[in-house]
DNA sequence: TCTTGAGCTAGAGTTGACTCTAAGGTTTAA
DNA sequence: TTAAACCTTAGAGTCAACTCTAGCTCAAGA
């Protein structure tokens, strides 16, 4: 039974975001006081926590909506939950591969720049113009 | 001396994007035929290639603008070019760390789901509700 | 009681990098 | 010559996930 401000503060979310989650249906309509203010139940708060954790795992709000629906179903739809996680994992592995190569390239660019003489130009721009190994 | 369509096709960019780059000043105003159509010079095409390569390296159009300005300066401003690349590298290393941990978590979630019995629920949702190790 | 300060709503604005549309004009190949 | 393909512009729309605004009401402390 907390006000929107307290929930926002304690979970590190803005009050705007909380109202937004409710508006798009990620949160069931939150109970209101006679004065029209939201009163978040423990259940509501847990839901918000779920959303934030899933977001940290790079699930989009749309994917989170699906996760929530899966949770509401009698028993979790195993293949579908699995598929969502597998897809996320695939996307992350792709990003990892991409970023690792990129890191190699940037490190190389940087060391070439650092080892260039005092008055010399830093060959970073040239490196982008004429990719040496990858790209 | 190519039409916008040919440049777009050969570089895998849309004609819209090419006009957009010109509009925001990443490309100097492209020469036009008497009929008003763009004729891309070899120089323009190289510039577009530069943009695409830098984009693949996760530089934003704004950062690319800076890179281009550095290139236009008499001699490349070593500290500034270096700073841009170093910042990009830092950001990428942060992403890598984040994604690696995430991968561990997702793999764990997936294997817990796979090893759950035939009729049993896949504990993916529970795993997000009650993070076991990280988060 | 009065003054902050918190909360309410509907709806507009933000960001980045385009994409799309409408209403034309221009080239080119048959 | 004429149809199809291509190009032009200005400006609106897209996406995600909020953020911000205006103009209000409501609650709590001194």
Is the C-beta of residue A38 closer than 7 Å to nucleic acid chain C? yes
- Nearest partner of B54 among A99, A135, A132, A123, judged by Cα: A135
* Angle A34-A48-A53 from CA coordinates, rounded to 5°: 170
- Over 90: is that where the pLDDT of B22 sits? yes
- Over 90: is that where the pLDDT of A21 sits? yes
Cβ B103–A93 below 8 Å, yes or no?
yes
pLDDT classification of A135: cutoffs 50, 70, 90 = very low
| Cα–Cα distance for residue pair B98/B78, rounded to 1 Å | 30
- Over 60: is that where the pLDDT of B135 sits? no
Cβ contacts (< 8 Å) between A56 and chain B: which residues? 135
**What is the pLDDT at residue B128?**
93
Is B100 an 8 Å CB contact of chain A?
A: yes
- Over 60: is that where the pLDDT of B134 sits? no
Helix or strand run (H / E) with residue B62: helix B61-72
**What is the pLDDT at residue A73?**
84
| Cα–Cα distance for residue pair A54/A51, rounded to 1 Å | 5
Is A28 an 8 Å CB contact of chain B?
A: no
Mean residue pLDDT across chain A: 91
- Condensed to tens digits (0 to 9), the pLDDT of residues B34-83 reads 999 999 999 999 999 999 999 999 999 999 999 999 988 877 677 888 99
- Pull the structure tokens for residue B11: 């570089």
Question: Does the reported pTM lie above 0.85?
Answer: yes
Residue of A nearest to B109 (CA): A85
Mean pLDDT, residues A64-71 taken together = 94
The rounded Cα A8 to chain-centroid distance in angstroms is: 18
- Pull the structure tokens for residue B66: 């800076």
* Beta pairing partners, A74: none
**What is the pLDDT at residue A58?**
96
**Who's near B96: CB < 8 A, 6+ residues apart?**
A96, A99, A100, A103
pLDDT classification of A80: cutoffs 50, 70, 90 = confident
Please tell me which residue, B85 or B76, carries the higher pLDDT value.
B85
The alpha carbon of residue B83 is apart from the nearest alpha carbon of chain A, in Å, by: 9
- Condensed to tens digits (0 to 9), the pLDDT of residues A82-120 reads 999 999 999 999 999 999 999 999 999 999 888 877 777
Fill in the DSSP letter of residue A53.
H
- Nearest partner of A79 among B126, B130, B118, judged by Cα: B118
**What is the pLDDT at residue B95?**
96
Is B17 an 8 Å CB contact of chain A?
A: no
**Closest nt to A20 (CA→C1')?**
D18
């Amino acid at each position: 039974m907390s006000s929107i401000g307290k929930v926002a503060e304690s979970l590190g979310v803005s009050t705007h975001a909380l109202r937004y989650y409710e508006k798009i249906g990620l949160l069931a309509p939150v109970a209101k006081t006679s004065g029209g203010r939201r009163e978040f139940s423990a259940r509501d708060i847990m839901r918000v926590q779920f959303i934030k954790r899933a977001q940290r795992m790079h699930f989009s709000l749309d994917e989170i909506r699906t996760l929530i629906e899966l949770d509401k179903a009698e028993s979790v739809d195993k293949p579908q939950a699995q598929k969502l996680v597998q897809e996320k994992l695939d996307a992350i592995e792709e990003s990892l591969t991409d970023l690792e190569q990129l890191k190699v390239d940037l490190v190389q660019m940087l060391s070439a720049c650092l080892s260039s003489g005092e008055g010399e130009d830093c060959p970073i721009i040239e490196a982008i113009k004429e990719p040496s190994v990858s790209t």
